[in-house]
Amino acid sequence: MTAARLIELWRGGTRESAHLGHVVISDANGIVEAWGDPGAVIYPRSSCKMIQALPLVESGAAEAAGLGSEQLALACASHDGARIHTDRVVAWLSALGLEEDDLRCGAHMPNDPAERKRLTCTDESPCQIHNNCSGKHAGFLTLKRHMKAGPEYVEIDHPVQRAVRRAFEEMTKETAAGWGIDGCSAPNFACTVEGLSCAMAGFAQPGTGVRGQAQRRLVEAMLTHPELVAGEGRACTELMRAMKGRVAVKTGAEAVFVGIVPERGLGIAVKILDGGTRGSEAAITAIMVHLGLLEEGHPVVQKYLTGPLRNWRGFSTGELRCAEGFPS
């Protein structure tokens, strides 16, 4: 089975570009609907941060450090490096007696326009706190300290990453099909698109034990603080706000997107073959409309899927469309 045509770009009556990929919707019993190849092996990248945060909560490290829902949302976040994000990560590290230097995520210019402007115009370099993964890494550091483990917490055989791998394999119900190094230097484990959607279905229907409690806390944290999970103007934040706390969504690099729908016990995984965000944002939006969780006329649906593409003079020049057969 191969990737399915999911999203198309039309201009002047001609199909100019197209995004192929894989989409799986699962519940506790398995696949509910799928497009493309559910068995395709992918890296979830940042879309699985809520899985990577499970050991932090399950181990008791989060409670011991007094983490609240804001910190847990940041642990699941790919944030914009706005002050609302960086101030909280700085305070979190400080409360642990740690500093920026203890992070292993690397530095990059933040996406937040105000902070980017401040850094640019003062010739200040971005630091590791600005890294979109600094919340996840603060979570790793919290767990590392709780475990009394060594400082190189992103190494594949470090106790933190061994715990992450265990959680990942249990949630996906697969043995990891390999691992790669992520943009933030942490290991990222490979799974099938079906495995990722299965993991999200697990978060959508948490049990009663330690794992179920951890899943519930992490999803609630994401739903309570959509602005901490990404930032103003970003797809994760805007989609979660539009769905009013009913659905958690999370993007990952190379065009992965996941969804967690607690009220229906559904988990969703999207991977666009070409790795482009335009396709993954459009596809997850289409799935939310398909499931009746977003109205087709909502401004967010227009922004990520149905609205006209406009050029520099504001003229409508084209539009994204769902390909025939996707999602219905």
Residues binding its own copies (CB under 8 A): 9, 11-14, 16-20, 41-43, 104-108, 117, 120-121, 131, 177-185, 188, 190, 254-255, 272-276, 278-279, 311-315, 317-318
Residue 122 half-sphere exposure toward CB, CA atoms < 13 A: 9
Hey, how many other C-beta atoms are within 10 angstroms of the C-beta on 90? 17
Minimum CB–partner distance for residue 299 and its own copies (Å): 23
CA distance 157 to 239: 36
Distance in Å, CB of 242 to its own copies, minimum: 26
Minimum CB distance to its own copies, residue 296 (Å):
24
Rank residues 197 and 215 by Cβ distance to its own copies and give the closer one.
Answer: 197
User: Measured from the CB atom, is 104 or 165 closer to its own copies?
Assistant: 104
CB of 240 to its own copies, least distance (A): 26
- Residue 98 CA to residue 116 CA, distance in Å, equals 25
Rounded to whole angstroms, the Cα distance separating 225 from 93 reads: 19
Specify the residue, 90 or 177, whose C-beta has the smaller distance to its own copies: 177
Which residue, 22 or 146, is less far from its own copies as judged by CB? 22
Residue type, 63: E
Cα–Cα distance measured from residue 197 to residue 143, given in angstroms and rounded to the nearest whole number: 26
**Partners of 7 in the β-ladder:** 19, 322
- Distance of closest approach, residue 23 Cβ to its own copies, in angstroms: 16
Instruction: State which residue, 259 or 279, has the beta carbon closest to its own copies.
Output: 279
Tell me how far, at minimum, the Cβ of 2 lies from its own copies, in Å: 10
**Contact in structure between 316 and 37 (CB atoms under 8 Å):** no
In the complex, least distance from residue 46 CB atom to its own copies, rounded to whole angstroms: 13
Cα distance between the two ends of the chain = 19
The single-letter DSSP state of residue 323 is P
Nearest residue (CB) to its own copies, 68 versus 178: 178
- Local structure of 241: helix, strand or coil: helix
**Cβ-Cβ contacts under 8 Å for 324 (sequence gap 6 or more):** 5
Distance CA 94, CA 75 (A): 16
Question: Closer CB to its own copies, residue 13 or residue 297?
Answer: 13
Give, in degrees to the nearest 5, the angle at Cα 77 between 75 and 79.
125
Residue pair 294/65 in contact by the 8 Å Cβ criterion? no
Rounded CA separation 251/239 (Å): 11
CB of 82 to its own copies, least distance (A): 17
Closest to its own copies by CB, 84 vs 177, is: 177
